[in-house]
Structure 1
Amino acid sequence: MKIYTIGYEATTMADFLAALTMADVKRVIDVRALPLSRRPGFSKSSLAASLAEAGIGYVHLKALGTPKPGRDAAKKGDVATLRTVYAGQLELPDAQAQAAVMMDLAAEMPSALLCYERDPCHCHRTLLLAAVGEGAEVVDLYAQAAA
């Protein structure tokens, strides 16, 4: 099974959709705790609408997001704290249930995990797949950076 990941940092909706379409992604699995964004078009409702227009499904799995202390650590580049906070999140029953749902969804059709960070090494989506994505081939997608 192949699971894609993508971040929307420093890109436009058009370039984001182009990267997903080129990879033949059919569903985006949003793993943000708070599916809100200051970047136009990337908050939950408008994102889902844009994806639908492109023929791409959308699912939000809130329990797979990073709690605030982890997001704060990520913004500071404190990967050790992010890892610790997120490991605790993944121990929660809701997160474990949604991780199983995520894997089932990804097995059904080509799917991409979505979060903000462009570089997956600075994002919890990499930690998530390291914890629960055993056997999956992970492919990180990069949308064109906005000029």
Structure 2
Amino acid sequence: MSGLPSADSSERARAHRLGRQLRALREAHGLTRPELASAAGVPLRTLSRLETEGVAQPGLFTVAALARALEVTVDELVAAAGPVPGLWSTGYEGRTIDSFVAALVEAGVDAVADVRLTPISRKPGFSKSRLSAALAEADISYLHLRSLGNPKDNRAPFWDGRVGEGLAAFADVMAAEPARRELEELAELAVERSVAVLCFEQDERRCHRQAVLAELHQRTALSVAALA
């Protein structure tokens, strides 16, 4: 396992969510950036950085001034920008790396859990190093969960309609200690962050990740959504 998301990446994710929330509220009030900056009494450059770059530790007085101008409390503003726990199911089949990352950002995904046994791909951008780099640029954490990968000799059942057989074989994989440990760590992450479980197949019914997500749902009671 490559490790759970760091504190720094969590801070960056929160900063970008705050920026998106500020922009959404400003637009809902029909204000331009200069108009909001003027109403709040904060420098336009500061507001621009908050909305577009994300500031990990914005000044309390700045946030309070913006909240007043947007007619919300500081607590409401910060809470609305907080992480939303959840589980997403996604495959990169038929996607480009740019469209994939854009869909994650649009959905508010904070972390991607890669459940491929071997995270390499002939599809440009989806091998481990390039994928993790592309996600990092969008402030999305990446973790490779090798122990939750499907063995090569158990892939055909999912592809040719013998899904029950494939799930039965994969249940033995999930029962092993390494997989159980990674499932527990992933469940803990999902109740705090929005996590997309990734493999190749776009159709979850043809992929072993359905078993991983079913187990996570059972452990966390979180619903699972498909990434559009």
Q: TM-score, normalised by structure 1?
A: 0.90
Bigger mean CA offset, 45-54 vs 79-88: 79-88
Match in the other structure for 1:88: 172
**Residue 105 (structure 1) shift:** 1.5
1:39 lines up with 2:123 in the alignment = yes
**CA separation in 1, counterparts of 2:102 and 2:162?**
31
**Residue 57 (structure 1) shift:** 0.6
Match in the other structure for 1:140: 226
Contact kept in structure 2, 1:69 and 1:85, CA below 8 Å: no
Deviations 1:95-146 (A, max 9, x none): 001100111121221111011010111111111122342111101113xxxx
Q: TM-score, normalised by structure 2?
A: 0.59
**CA separation in 2, counterparts of 1:128 and 1:76?**
20
**CA separation in 1, counterparts of 2:216 and 2:106?**
26
Inter-CA distance 77–38: structure 2 relative to 1 (3 Å threshold): farther
**CA separation in 2, counterparts of 1:109 and 1:49?**
20
Match of 2:192 among 103, 108, 114: 108
Name the SS for the 1:112 alignment partner: strand
Structure with greater Cα Rg: 2
Structure 2 unaligned blocks of 5 or more: 1-84
Name the SS for the 1:59 alignment partner: strand
Match of 2:102 among 4, 12, 18: 18
CA RMSD for the aligned pairs?
1.3
Match in the other structure for 1:27: 111
**CA separation in 2, counterparts of 1:105 and 1:131?**
14
**CA separation in 2, counterparts of 1:25 and 1:131?**
20
**CA separation in 1, counterparts of 2:225 and 2:192?**
17
Name the SS for the 1:108 alignment partner: coil
Name the SS for the 1:97 alignment partner: helix
**Residue 72 (structure 1) shift:** 3.0
Match in the other structure for 2:154: 70
* Matched residue count: 142
Q: Percent identity?
A: 40
Structure 1 unaligned blocks of 5 or more: 143-147
Contact kept in structure 1, 2:109 and 2:196, CA below 8 Å: yes
**CA separation in 1, counterparts of 2:148 and 2:126?**
18
If asked which structure has higher relative contact order (CA below 8 Å, sep 6+), I would say 1
**CA separation in 2, counterparts of 1:50 and 1:71?**
27
Name the SS for the 1:47 alignment partner: helix
